[in-house]
Chains A and B, each alone.
Chain A
């Protein structure tokens, strides 16, 4: 402790050293004065008194020296000298220092911000105990759906749970929307139903109260509910007596038994309610229902994902053999929870990380370049220092200190810059990328940034320092500053590398950008303009019998359609592009029932009349649903999309063909009354799935998304719409009001995000490369001033001089461009998954991008070259 205190004091003294020395001087003077006074009083003469006092004190200078020695740490002091000298020298060359620091700041800022996002999404551990052992178990069926993340049948879940040995535990959950109400207020909230073992399996503890018991996780006993910390604060005002409180969830009383810890979430951050799943082990789920739950599990210690995957696959084939009607062609897919969350955002992030690395390299090359150029012009200064006895190491240390100081200044500004960039990223980034992640700049990231900048400072300061100090003293001193220097070659190499890296970045950006514009022009199959969407979820318990819901929606739409500015109004069970969808098997009358494993799979949507007109989906054959189709006793009628007609009805006229759906033996066949255009559901770059549309009365959903086609800004209708819904039922909230454009925007967000960032990076790297080219040539012109002056004086034309210098620059720019094209061709394959409608080796991109870069680089070369051509020969010769 004491040693530390001494060290700190010494450090403190070092910083306030001049004050200290002054004080010590004063103290010694006071000492001498008092001593002299005493001596005088004792009767000595003035001279004697002084002499005696000085003698008794000993030498003042050695004393001061020993004080200084004790005050500070010697090495720190010389380092301090270096530091002060560096700062002074950087201040003297503001142009150079600013350019270099800015280069580093941009490089570090971009890397740190992207690293922060990647860290939050890919690296930071999930907030559960031992998260590496948490897995998601999906069903997978490559025959029907091109998805390895299909939801699971509860029946299969029960069998998995009974048979697995590799998993310590398996738990099930699903998402639901539900309305919380207390008589005055009502709000639609996201809810998760989960088996009782899920929360303990994650390894979290309740903030208040307790989790569900196994007993409460049974049908009929599941009347308890957990609430989020956020809901506890906002709705219940943080009431401490919350436990045991009864609330109405979907018009059914539930008891709050616990509050979740702040910030807790499992796969969906917006969840505010958790309830027991209530899976009934006695029920045969494979008889009647489809696949609709999600399953997570915790591996036994020491078990790998592959082992678990192998075991679960074996179990799945047992189940396939035991229940061929239900499980034919179905297998399982085990993936880590992290992978299931990150999914295809991983490739975007890796591409971005890669590009940011390239950008950082360009920035560093640029700084090294600037330093080299500057060191070249300081060779005489170095030589003078060396001739005065400074060792090579001492001079190098000085130069390295300077480059590290520079990169730390750049790094610090980069961190500040990154704070803004991260905020911008979070605004631009798709929710799918960042929604689950904990994204912030923390100490680790700051350490990363400081480390990175120090490293780049050392790395890119070393080469210049080495070159600058490798001189023959006599030669340098004898030179009078004007002869041709051969030391420019390293710089030319660096600029060439910069150009090459920039070509790679620019090409990638060009490809992504083209793919984005391609996507934006793909027709979604509907017209999103001026379309307001919001969800109304009627409590099933309150609206009985089912037809009352149809009546509610019919009344609501009739009144909404009367609002000024509303052209048409309708509703749909699952909004396209919003992620959710329901699918089932379908059959066509007159055709033999398909064999197990060869069923026809179609997406199911329930709509209210007028849906296709409101959404702008063209009716290609037949007609839309009418009010008559939506009566309780109407005969079953269907509308299908073009994909359904093409894929399943090929050769048969669609209209008046009878089909059924839901694979229920008693499910009636119904006539197809219309064929409508395809809507590209999942993503714009995927083909549309065969879809069957039901009228609401015949496939009754309690929750529907309402749609209003308006003449002007649809957002102005949110409040009037809410009022109309609440006139019909005062306790009925509306949820997630937004425009269809916003819904579609989310789909494009991922591509737009990557493209925008990459475009930003490439513009930066283009600028940096231009600065690099300019810097190298400008310095070479300065160095060759006398030579150029001589040639001008001997009659060389200015145009010729300019051309020669541009050509000198063009040589390494061209070489860099060619290398960059080769590199981009090699790396283009990595972009494959992110591209749509454009080949990774698109010839146009590979022609235009290098041309742009070449043009910019040549412009950067032209400026110093023109200056050279305009030199006044006389003053150039007289220089130095």
Chain B
């Protein structure tokens, strides 16, 4: 409950977005699958502690962006599957917009001559 250092909060914020995007792209997925997929998408440049996925998933579920149910994995293991809700889809769109805006702004500072404006 808010006892984590600020750096981790930022990381978790981005992690939530990554989870949402992953679920949007791939459909219902279990926690392990989400974690693997995030590593793959990052071109293995991100090294994830898989445990951090679960608090993030719980937070997203409590906020109503994702829903979960028990199902069977591709190699016949009972696992909990997460999927995006309607509110989650809207959240992805919103976050994507905001992220875009942030990167646009930051990008301007790295444009040639940006520092003299």
Contact = CB atoms under 8 A, between A and B. Distances in A.
Contacts of A70: 1, 55, 58-59, 62
Interface stretch (A33-41, A294-302, A372-380): A33-41
Contacts of A69: 1
A537 B91 CA distance: 78
Interface in B17-75: 30-33, 36, 48-52, 54-55, 58-59, 62-64, 73, 75
B51 A59 contact: yes
Interface residues of A, number: 27
A66 B55 contact: yes
A35 B49 CA distance: 13
A30 B32 contact: yes
A37 B75 contact: yes
Range of interface residues on B (Cβ < 8 Å): 20 to 34
Contacts, number: 68
A35 B32 CA distance: 7
Contact of A34 (B32, B48, B54): B32
Contacts of B36: 38
Nearest to A32: B32
Query: Which residue, A31, A38, A66, has most C-beta atoms of chain B within 10 A?
Result: A31
A5 B1 contact: no
Contacts of B90: none
B77 interface: yes
Contacts of B64: 2, 5
Nearest to B48: A56
A793 interface: no
Contact of B77 (A24, A34, A58): A34
Contacts of B16: none
A9 B62 contact: yes
Interface in A7-43: 9-10, 23-24, 26-28, 30-31, 33-35, 37-38
A522 interface: no
A6 interface: yes
A67 B58 contact: yes
Nearest to B49: A58
Contacts of A28: 54
B77 A30 contact: yes
B31 A5 contact: no
A57 interface: yes
Nearest to B58: A70
Given A9-B62, A33-B77, A66-B55, A27 B50 contact: no
Contacts of B1: 69-70
Contacts of B62: 5-6, 9-10, 70
B31 A27 contact: yes
Interface in A617-658: none
A40 B9 CA distance: 34
A10 B61 CA distance: 11
Given A56-B49, A69-B1, A30 B59 contact: no
Contacts of A24: 54
A56 B80 contact: no
A63 interface: yes
A606 B77 CA distance: 99
Nearest to A24: B54
A57 B36 CA distance: 12
B97 interface: no
Given A2-B63, A6-B62, A35-B32, A27 B55 contact: no
A56 B59 CA distance: 21
A583 B32 CA distance: 97
Given A37-B75, A69-B1, A31 B50 contact: yes
Interface in A681-706: none
Interface of B: 1, 30-33, 36, 48-52, 54-55, 58-59, 62-64, 73, 75, 77-80
Given A2-B63, A67-B54, A70-B62, 18 more contacts: A26-B78, A27-B79, A30-B78, A30-B79, A31-B32, A31-B79, A34-B30, A34-B32, A34-B33, A34-B73, A34-B77, A34-B79, A57-B51, A58-B49, A58-B52, A66-B55, A67-B55, A67-B58
Closest 10 CB pairs of A and B: A58-B51, A30-B79, A31-B32, A34-B32, A57-B50, A27-B80, A6-B62, A63-B51, A56-B50, A57-B51
Interface of A: 2, 5-6, 9-10, 23-24, 26-28, 30-31, 33-35, 37-38, 56-59, 63, 66-67, 69-71
16 contacts: A2-B63, A9-B62, A27-B80, A30-B30, A30-B73, A30-B79, A31-B32, A34-B32, A34-B75, A57-B51, A59-B51, A66-B55, A67-B54, A69-B1, A70-B55, A70-B58
